[in-house]
Chain A
């Protein structure tokens, strides 16, 4: 099947001076298509949500306006309940005949995947068969929003108030802060992934949910010990730089909070990865910001009783107030 000409002309011409650009664009396009635009019919290129009441379907070629006018050809329902069809208010065909907009009478929830059935699509007088499409939120966007959410909007240190002992202990100098942040990110990703597998494939099937705390804390200690041993043998130079912080990771409550949250929210593997990475990077950001301020505080003239930890707490309070500005933000 050859794509119609219009498909090629409406894309911007790739710049010949940068031969890498089109390749990256193509890669991104593949990634986007792979990750759930829901085109599971050969004649349908794309099916996606727009606004709260519209579903937009893009065809590979122009369809017959006469076919699009008959409303009986279209039905929309939520994937979990196929018995309750959504009322379709209006069907609009774009001027080039390739873009079809279905407007429902009631708002549809984007979080639930929807099924769209297009019966006997007719294009140029030829039938293209019936299409059953699944429309869902862009998965990449969903993952990205989890990552940013854990990193900045719901920052574990400044918005959830976790991991404070280690946070105040290691934010005195920038070099220490970065070392701790990087080590922590690596360990938390490894530990969260393992605890996800253990929860999904051992604890849940055998109904051992009440052992969560014991299993997760044991797993975290094991991960830290494992990373310690491996790093010592494989890369002694790196171990010298980061080995000190490994022990501290166990004392950080974020490292046990993330597996518990994954288990509570029933995240999938990729979502778990994003939450763990976001938690680690968020901790790194918090440490870096804090250490930058505390390095300057060293030279400031502070009342004697406030020196050391008390002033650090006041600074953290100011940061927390600033981070409150992110609250309620949504991405995608």
Chain B
């Protein structure tokens, strides 16, 4: 497999938009549904995922020549598990209240398909610097998705943003319920699809002219 030809900026934007982990790849949906009720939760879990993704990508790209192909998946899993343990202990020590709110989800980062997938698809074939930017892109893409979902749900559900009261009333309490997470993601995906079809149609017309 050839190494990537994209520039670092392209790699970053790719993770943020074109291959957004939540809306486009539809991976790691559990936290997106379960705890995207507030912006703060989104940012914190986003930071945790960013940390694990970047450090695992870097680790794997550094030791990629020493991994036997047949045991590569277990190697990925153990690398991720190690970094998850690190962030788990750090969060539990420094932000205990937020850690409590996120519950089991921090430790479940270990089973996120998105991280393993990036290691398998990207980090094990590329050098340290592109892997770092790919990890950054994916991590920020995840955080972006979580923050967008969190903002919409917090405003519609609580009438607040980042804990500050903005609207002064609660428009639709329904959006605080975790069940609304399913609806939100469904609609966001539909919007992304719609924008894509519009964009493609526009490009075709431009070509025709």
Interface size on B, residues (CB 8 A): 41
Quick check: B186 and A317 within 8 Å, CB to CB? yes
> Are B190 and A164 closer than 8 Å at their CB atoms?
no
* Contact, CB under 8 Å: B197 / A164: no
Residue of B with least CB distance to A324:
B179
By the criterion CB–CB under 8 Å, are A304 and B197 in contact? yes
Q: Mark A235-260, 1 if CB is under 8 A from B, else 0.
A: 00000000000000011110111001
Q: Bound complex: CA of A163 vs CA of B34, how far in Å?
A: 11
- The reply to whether the CB of A197 lies closer than 8 angstroms to some CB of chain B is no
Q: Kindly state the separation between the CA atoms of A305 and B198 in the bound complex, as whole angstroms.
A: 11
| CB neighbours of B29 from chain A (8 A) | 164-165, 168
A313 near B185 (CB under 8 angstroms)?
A: yes
Q: Are A317 and B183 in contact (CB under 8 A)?
A: yes
The reply to whether the CB of B98 lies closer than 8 angstroms to some CB of chain A is no
Given contacts A163-B30, A305-B197, A317-B186, contact A214 B111 (CB under 8 A): no
Main secondary structure of the interface of A (DSSP, over half): helix
Question: Are A314 and B182 in touch, CB under 8 angstroms?
Answer: yes
Of the residues B85, B110, B193, contact of A305 by C-beta under 8 Å: B193
**Closest Cβ of chain B: how far from A308's Cβ, in Å?**
8
A60 near B: Cβ within 8 Å?
no
> Do residues A261 and B104 form an inter-chain contact, with CB atoms below 8 A?
yes
Contact between A214 and B85, CB atoms less than 8 A apart: yes
Contact residues in B for A321 (Cβ distance below 8 Å): 177, 179
Query: How many A-B contacts if CB must be within 8 Å?
Result: 115
For A218, list chain B residues within 8 Å (CB): 74, 77-78, 81
Whether the Cβ atoms of B186 and A314 lie closer than 8 Å is yes
B residues near A310, Cβ cutoff 8 Å: 186-187, 189-190, 193
Q: Is B11 an interface residue (CB 8 A)?
A: no
Looking at the complex, which one of A251, A256, A311 makes contact with B186 (CB distance below 8 Å)? A311
Q: For A253, list chain B residues within 8 Å (CB).
A: 30, 108, 111-112
Chain A CB within 8 A of B27 CB: yes
Question: With the chains together, A214 CA to B183 CA distance in Å?
Answer: 34
Q: Are A306 and B190 in contact (CB under 8 A)?
A: yes
Structural contact, B33 and A161, CB atoms closer than 8 A: yes
**Known contacts A221-B77, A251-B113, A305-B190; is A161 also within 8 Å of B178 by CB?**
yes
A210: chain B residues at CB < 8 Å are: 85, 89
B128 is an interface residue with CB less than 8 A from chain A: no
Residues in B whose Cβ lies below 8 Å from that of A304: 193, 197
Q: Is B88 an interface residue, CB under 8 A from the partner?
A: yes
Would you call A165 and B113 a contact (CB within 8 A)? yes
- Residue among A161, A165, A316 with most chain B CB within 10 A: A161
Q: How far is the CB of A198 from chain B (nearest CB, A)?
A: 15
- Interface residue B84 (Cβ < 8 Å from any Cβ of A): yes
Is the C-beta of A232 less than 8 angstroms from some C-beta in chain B?
A: no
A 292-324 binary contact with B (CB < 8 Å = 1; else 0): 000000000001111001111110110011001
Q: Do A252 and B111 have beta carbons less than 8 Å apart?
A: yes
Complex CA gap A64/B25 in Å reads 76
> How far, in angstroms, from A252 to B116 measured CA to CA in the complex?
12
Q: Are A162 and B78 interface neighbours, CB within 8 A? A: no
CA distance in complex: A305, B201 (Å): 14
Is the CB of A217 closer than 8 A to any CB of chain B? yes
Evaluate contact between B183 and A161: CB separation under 8 angstroms: no
Q: Nearest Cβ distance between residue B45 and chain A, in whole angstroms?
A: 13
Contacts of B161 in A (CB 8 A): none
- Taken together as a complex, chains A and B put the C-alpha atoms of A324 and B182 apart, in Å, by 14
Question: B residues 69-98 with Cβ under 8 Å of A?
Answer: 73-74, 77-78, 81-82, 84-85, 88-89
Residues in chain A within 8 A of chain B (CB atoms):
159-165, 168, 210-214, 217-218, 221, 250-253, 255-257, 260-261, 303-306, 309-314, 316-317, 320-321, 324
Chain B interface residues (CB < 8 Å from chain A): 26-30, 33-34, 73-74, 77-78, 81-82, 84-85, 88-89, 104, 107-108, 110-113, 116, 177-183, 185-187, 189-191, 193-194, 197
A-B contact pairs, 24 of them (CB 8 A): A159-B178, A160-B34, A162-B30, A165-B26, A165-B29, A210-B89, A212-B107, A217-B110, A218-B81, A221-B74, A253-B108, A256-B110, A304-B197, A305-B194, A306-B193, A309-B189, A310-B189, A316-B186, A317-B181, A317-B186, A320-B179, A321-B179, A324-B177, A324-B179
